[in-house]
Structure 1
Amino acid sequence: MAAELAGMVLKCEATGKLFFSSKDAEVHGEETGLKDFSQVSLDEKVWTCEETGKVCFTAQQIDLHKRRVPEALTWHEGTVSDLKAKQAASSKSDEGTSEMETEEELLLREAGVKPKQKKNAAPAAAHVVTKESVVQLVEMGFTQLRAEKALLRTANAGIEAAINWLTEHLDDADIDEPHAEAPQTKSQDEVDAETAAAMSEGGAKSSSSQLTPAEKKAKLDEALAKARAKKAGTSVEEFKQMEKVRREGGKELTAARREQEEQQRKRDMEARQREKREFEEERRRLREKLAADKADKVKKGLIV
C-alpha cells in the first residue's frame, strides 16, 4: 500500500478486521490475497464489549454478537480514535500485532484464557482447511484445489471471503497449479477440539504437571464445552443442559432397546420350549398308538 495510507485506520472488507497501520494491512493482504480495504473515520462510533473485547460498529453487529455469545452483556460506546489511542498505549508496553482481536483470541478470552501476544504472527492454522467449507465450495462448482487455495488465502475466514477471493483470482495463471505444500483437511469438530485443547493447555500451563489425568480431562471437557456452546450460539450452562438431555435421552433409548431385546429373547425361548413340548407330546402319542396297534394284532392272533 502507498505511504499516504500511513496513520489511517483500515478495515478489510472481506474479513471485517481493523488495522491501525498500513504495514499490518499490507501483511494481511499478502498473506490472504485480499486487497479490498476501506478507510475508517477516527470519529466513527464503536461499541466495545466489556466481557469479550469485541468491537462493533452497528446495532446489528451487536445483536449478532449477543446471539453468538450470551455472556456479552456490557457495552461501552466510544470512537475509533479511542481504540487507536488504546492500541498505541498498549504497543508501548508490548510490541504485539496492531490487528484487532481475532476469532481465536476471542474464543480463548471467553474460556478465561488470556491470549498470548504475538509479533508478526501468521494466521492460525495457516495450512489447515475445514472439510465442510471445502465441500460447500465444491458443491458450488469450484474445483477442490481452488476451494482449498481460497480458504488458505483468506485464512479460513469463511465461505463469503473465499468466494470473493476466487472471483478476484479466477484468471490468475497459477490458479490451478498444485499446492507447494498440501494443506491439512480437518472437520470443524476437530478444529473445535484442538482449539479447546489449546485453551486447556494455556489456562493450566503453570500447574499442568500437578494435575491428575482426570483433572486434565475435566479442564479439556470444560474448554470444549465453551467452544461448542459458542458455535451453537448459546451459553455454556444451556449447552451442558442440552447435552445432559441428549445423553439421558440416549440412555432411555438404549434401555428401551435392551428391554425390547430381552422381551424378544424370552418370547423366542418360550416358543422353543413350546415346540419341544409339542414334539415330545407327538412322540408319546405315536408310541401309544404303536403299542395299541401291536396289542390289537396280538389279540387277533396276527402276531405272536
Structure 2
Amino acid sequence: MAAAPLSLVCRNCNAPLRSVKEAQDHNASTGHADFEESVEAVLSLVCEDCGKPCRNQTEQDLHTKRTGHRKFVDKTSEAMAIDTEQQMAAASEEIKDELQEIAGPSKPQAVQEKVAPEVDPSLRQQIEDMGFSANKATRALHFTGTASLEQAIDWIMKHQDDADVDEPLMVDAAKPKMSPEETKKQIEDLRIKNKAKREKEEAEMRKLREQERIRSGKELQAAERENKMNELKRNVEYRKREKEQDAIARAKIKARLEEDRRERRRKLGLPEELTAEEQELETKKEEAKKASKAAPARVDASPSAAASFAQNLRKILVDQKKQHPNDDAKLRACWTTLLRCIGNVAQHPGEEKYRQLKLSSAAFQSKVASVNGSLQFLNLCGFKQNEAADALHMDAASMKQDLLTVAGAELNSALTNPFFGML
C-alpha cells in the first residue's frame, strides 16, 4: 500500500509546500504551475519563545540571528497526511464564491422576466394566411426551431388538440452569456485581488517581525549593558578586596618584623624599645634616605659599572643567607653593622675615623668577621687591609659616593625584604 502524501513539491524550483493553498500562493507569486505529491513532510521547527514555525535550517538560523531565540522543538513528525482532491475541491468552491461575490447576487427565479419568443415574422404571416392563429404559428416556429414552413404546419397538426395551443407563448428572457475573454478577465481580476490581499498581509507580518526584531535587539543591548556593569562592579569589588588583603598582609609582615626586632634586642640584652641614641641614628638615616631620594648623589661610575657592582654585592649577601638559613639574628647583626659602617663613611666623607675599621675589635669579630663574605663585601666597597695597623682602611681618593649608596641600598633590601634570597 502506497504511503499517504504529506506535502506537495514544485517541480520547477523544488520548493516544499504543506497544502494546496500554499501551492496556489506559490503559483500566484512565481507563476509555477507544475506540482506533485510527496511522502516527505515539510520540516516544522517551532520556536519555544515566540511560536514561529521554521521549515528549514536557513529559516531557523535567520530567526535566531534576528531575535536571539535559540530553542526550537521539531514537530515535523506531527504532520498529517493531505487530501489533495478534497483541498482542490475546497479551493474551487472558494474561487466560485469569490466570483459570485464579484458578479453580484443573482435575481430570484420567481421574479425572472418573461418575454414573447422571437420567430421569423414572414413565416408566421404565411401560416396565418393559411387560416391558423398567430399563437399557433408562434408556438410552431418556436418549438420546431426551424425555418421550414412544412415542419411548422406538421407541428400544428400534431398539437392542434393541446389545451394551450391557442394561448400566447411566454418564455424566460435570455441571460447574457459572458465571452471567454470576459470570464478570463474576471478570473485575472480575482487573482490580482487575492495577490494584493496577500501582499498586504505579508507587509503587515514584515512590519510585526521588524518591530519584534527591534524590541529583541533593545532587550539584548540592555542585557549586555547590565552584564558589563555587573562585571565592572565585580572587578571593582575584587580590586578592593585585593588591596585590603595586601594591606592586611603588609601589616602582618610589619608586625612580624617588629616582633623579630624586639626578640633580637631581648637576646642581646638590650631594651625592646630603641634608646635615644639609636632613635637619633635612625632619624638621621631616614633623613639621609629622604635627601638621597630628593637629590641623588653624584654618579662617578658608569651605569653599567654600578649595576655590575650591585650584582656582586647582592651575590655575597644571598650566599650569606644560604650559608645561615636558620640564623637570622646573626645575619641581621652582621648586615646592620655593615650598613652602619657604610652609612658613616657616606655621611662623613671628610672624617678619617669613619674610614678605618679595627680588625681586632671584639664587636667587629663577632658581628662581621664571623660571617663569611663580609670582608669581601667591604673590600668591594673600597676598604683595603692595612696589616701594619691591623685594620681596614678606605682612602679618600678611592671613596665613591655613588657606590656607597648602592651598597647601602643592597644592605637595606636584605634587612627589610622578608623574601630576600628565597628566589
Please state which band the TM-score falls in when normalised by the shorter chain.
under 0.3
Bigger radius of gyration among the two? 2
TM-score normalised over the length of structure 2: 0.20
